Amino acid sequence: MKKYLLIIISLALSGCLGMPESVKPVPDFEINKYLGKWYEIARLDHSFEEGLSQVTAEYTLKDDGGVSVLNRGFLASENEWKEAEGKAYFVNSESEGYLKVSFFGPFYGSYVVFELDNENYQYAFVSGPNTDYLWLLARTPSVDQELKDTFVQMVKERGFDTKRLIFVDQ
């Protein structure tokens, strides 16, 4: 939990409401279709997720129009589940996949959905404020190799370091 807070503070202090130049948020984003449970298939690792497996993110609507975020993962070295609760709000408009997320007070970091299965919302490619933050999320704990290959190819073209990618044990 402390690691989650430290990275969020670091993100906030580094001015995190931007996005990589090579990334553009998806248009026609529908938050109601995005709500629910997502499984982390791949990520660029950071101290706040280091060693975590079985990582999920669950999104629910808040009364104030924002989104509640519950991230959860299993830390085998300590034989325990880790959780981080946060909140997210749209940066520009509710029809654009660009949100700001906070797990610690008034500090926010970018959450940019830049690729999405528009019809069924079964997978999403998500970036943070720069190319150091990246996730492949899916509605199921596993995805086919073709989607993984598409993800790797697309993010490599956008300047992400694919050699650092971790495929999460679910």
Q: pLDDT tier at 8 (50, 70, 90 boundaries)?
A: very low
pTM of the model: 0.89
pLDDT digits (tens, 9 = 90+) for 12-32: 444 578 999 999 999 999 999
In whole angstroms, what is the distance from residue 99 CA to residue 63 CA?
A: 17
Do you know the residue count of the chain?
170
Domain extent listing, the chain? 31-167
Q: pLDDT tier at 81 (50, 70, 90 boundaries)?
A: very high
Tell me if 156 sits within 8 A of 163, measured CB to CB.
no
- Is CATH 3.50.50.60 correct for 31-167? no
DSSP reduced 3-state for 10: helix
Q: Is the pLDDT of residue 38 over 50?
A: yes
pLDDT digits (tens, 9 = 90+) for 103-143: 987 889 999 999 999 889 999 999 999 999 999 999 999 99
In whole angstroms, what is the distance from residue 1 CA to residue 18 CA?
A: 25
**Which positions ≥6 away from 74 have C-beta within 8 Å?**
52, 53, 54, 55, 80, 81, 82
- pLDDT > 70 in the chain, percent: 91
